[in-house]
Structure 1
Amino acid sequence: MSVSEDFQQAQIDVKKLGARPGNDVLLKLYALYKQGTHGDASGSRPGMFDLTGRAKFDAWKSVAGTDQQEAQRQYVELVRRLQGL
């Protein structure tokens, strides 16, 4: 399978995990997903009262510069680790 096919499958598999990952892992998954689908984060950082939005933006910004295909590969790898594969 190609990286993009693996990435699409991982998006399905992550919804079937037995246990909900911790917030740090969820933020990493979010960041890699966004980087893999949209590229580098754009726009301004959410306001200080939007804690969830800020955390997600900061996580996405932390992977800035990562190639979209590499971000997809890392996402697939993380989902597989969460599955115990």
Structure 2
Amino acid sequence: MDFSTACEKAKAFTKRPTDEEFLEFYGLFKQATAGDINVDKPGALDLKGKAKWDAWNKHKGLSQDAAKAAYIAVYEKYAPKYA
């Protein structure tokens, strides 16, 4: 399975992953597509934005290819639960 296929299949999950699982996908997706985080950290009142920023920042330094492979692995881990 390639990265774009895993992305499409993850978007088609029939049930919504938990917030924690969603952030796992989000952080790896952003690292795979944009590389290291390149935006300022949101303010303390923006809880959703801060959580997403933290999820992406957690993968700082990971190559885009490694992030794609990790995203596929996360998809395969959760697919039986949500697909």
TM (norm. structure 2) is 0.90
Gaps of 5+ in 1: none
Aligned residue in 2 for 1:63: 59
Q: Does the alignment pair 1:45 with 2:41?
A: yes
Counterpart among 7, 10, 15 of residue 11 in structure 1: 7
Aligned-pair identity in percent equals 36
Aligned residue in 2 for 1:78: 74
For residues 17 and 44 of structure 1, the distance between their equivalents in structure 2, rounded to whole angstroms, comes to 31
Contact 1:7 1:76 in 2 (8 A): yes
1:69 partner letter: D
Q: How many residues align?
A: 80
CA deviation after TM superposition for structure 1 residue 18, in Å: 2.6
Counterpart among 32, 39, 61 of residue 36 in structure 1: 32
Which aligned runs of 4 or more in structure 1 are off by greater than 2 angstroms? Answer: none
2:51 partner letter: A
C-alpha RMSD over aligned residues: 1.1
TM (norm. structure 1) is 0.88
